[in-house]
A = this chain, B = another copy of it.
Amino acid sequence: MKKIRLALGKRSYDIFIGAQEIKGLGRKLKALDLGTDAYILTNKLIKDKYGLLLKRVLLKEGFGCYFKLVADTEKSKSIATAAAVIKDIAGRDYKKRIFIIAFGGGVVGDLAGFVASVYKRGIPYLQVPTTLLAQVDSSIGGKTGVDLDAGKNLVGAFYQPRLVFSDIAFLKSLPLRQLKAGLAEVIKYSLIADKRLFVFLQNRYRDVLKRDPDVLKKIIYACSLIKADLVSEDEKEVLSKRTLLNFGHTLGHAIEAAGGFSLYNHGEAVALGMLSAIEMSRSLKLLKPEDARLAKRLIKLYGLPDKLKGVSLEKVINAHFHDKKFKGRKNRFVLLAAIGKAKVVSDISLDIVKEGLKSIS
């Protein structure tokens, strides 16, 4: 397997990327000495498909093994679900050496990480992401959280996993719409930090969409490397390093919220957010028109939405004012200075924001 070390002092950990290598997880876990019993948070679909496989791997190394199912919807990211899971863990933790495996996509990963961060003031957990989005993004970096009515991820912690284990075998059965949602984040990485990845995504888009294993591994590795670097430089997002990962997300979150979190999934909303941010970058003369054109073209090439439908501009603009990352009343955007280069810009006029949004309406 390919390995990336996310450097964070005592909280450093490895990210493994491979194909059909789940059998190796048992020994890796054994070496980490995280505990005696694995508490696997997952959903029914993943358990039915891969549960037995994971269980065998763990039992072989002598781990106890419990599965806990949560519904595979954003609704599972609630304080109520977290409380129920914590209660369940407390009931099973009689040996006092339980650890958590997040086995699923972003919902399961965020919830499991949050639960791990607060149960007994923190127990170990690892991420075994099963969606492309989770493999390239949410499983790495320790942002955990659940939602409030007032906003997504309003309750959470920065709490790093002890291992991330990305196996593309899990992507085989991923619905195309979810694969594309992950690809929106992949495109994001290329735009903010990796021109070579951008060119690769342009040239190989057919192979990507056909889920060619070597191509997928290459992509996941490239994205994980960028994320690991940014997290290791700015774990808690106090500098503006980690903020760069938010490219396309400011308006993306607003679009998701305006659509009631059902019209667009996260990746689709980010695609629309990126298109707007590219347009904003261009109209502020940060980005050359030709680069803006190429960037927009790549997003369309992957069949991601390029027009905002079923939700009004006003609603999106209103939602954007509630972004939890805005300090005081100043907005803050990540914009492009070139393909492969992003920067954080604060206090952008509403006219420019509207211009960005108009380009997708």
Contacts of A97 in B (CB 8 A): 327-328
SS class, residues of chain A in contact with chain B: mixed
Q: Given A79-B83, A121-B158, 11 other A-B contacts at CB below 8 A?
A: A79-B79, A83-B83, A90-B150, A96-B327, A96-B329, A97-B328, A118-B157, A120-B156, A121-B145, A121-B157, A157-B157
User: Can you list 26 residue pairs at the A/B interface with Cβ under 8 Å?
Assistant: A36-B328, A79-B83, A86-B154, A87-B148, A87-B150, A90-B148, A90-B154, A95-B328, A95-B329, A96-B326, A96-B327, A96-B328, A97-B328, A117-B157, A118-B155, A118-B157, A120-B154, A120-B156, A121-B143, A121-B145, A121-B153, A121-B156, A121-B236, A122-B158, A122-B236, A157-B157
Task: Indicate if A91 sits at the interface (CB-CB under 8 A).
Answer: yes
Contacts of A86 in B (CB 8 A): 79, 148, 154-155
Task: Indicate if A177 sits at the interface (CB-CB under 8 A).
Answer: no
Contacts of A156 in B (CB 8 A): 118, 120-121
Determine the residue in chain B with the shortest Cβ distance to A145. Answer: B121
Contacts of A119 in B (CB 8 A): 154-155
- Beta-carbon contacts of A124-159 to B below 8 Å, as 1s and 0s? 000000000000000000010100111101111110
Task: Indicate if A68 sits at the interface (CB-CB under 8 A).
Answer: no
Contacts of A114 in B (CB 8 A): 118
**Interface size range of chain A in the complex:** 35 or more
Question: A24 to nearest B CB, angstroms?
Answer: 27
Question: How far is B327's CA from A36's CA once the two chains are assembled, in angstroms?
Answer: 11
Task: Indicate if A30 sits at the interface (CB-CB under 8 A).
Answer: no
Contacts of A329 in B (CB 8 A): 95-96
Question: A52 to nearest B CB, angstroms?
Answer: 28
Task: Indicate if A324 sits at the interface (CB-CB under 8 A).
Answer: yes
Contacts of A157 in B (CB 8 A): 117-118, 121-122, 157
Contacts of A143 in B (CB 8 A): 121
Q: Which of A95, A118, A143, A328 has the most CB of B within 10 A?
A: A118
Contacts of A236 in B (CB 8 A): 121-122
- Beta-carbon contacts of A236-249 to B below 8 Å, as 1s and 0s? 10000000000000
- Beta-carbon contacts of A310-349 to B below 8 Å, as 1s and 0s? 0000000000000010111100000000000000000000
Contacts of A118 in B (CB 8 A): 114, 118, 155-157
Contact check, A149 vs B96: say whether CB atoms are below 8 A apart. Answer: no
With known contacts A90-B154, A148-B90, A324–B122 Cβ distance under 8 A: no
Contacts of A122 in B (CB 8 A): 157-158, 236
Question: A36 to nearest B CB, angstroms?
Answer: 8
- Beta-carbon contacts of A169-181 to B below 8 Å, as 1s and 0s? 0000000000000
Question: A361 to nearest B CB, angstroms?
Answer: 28
Question: A160 to nearest B CB, angstroms?
Answer: 13
Determine the residue in chain B with the shortest Cβ distance to A156. Answer: B121
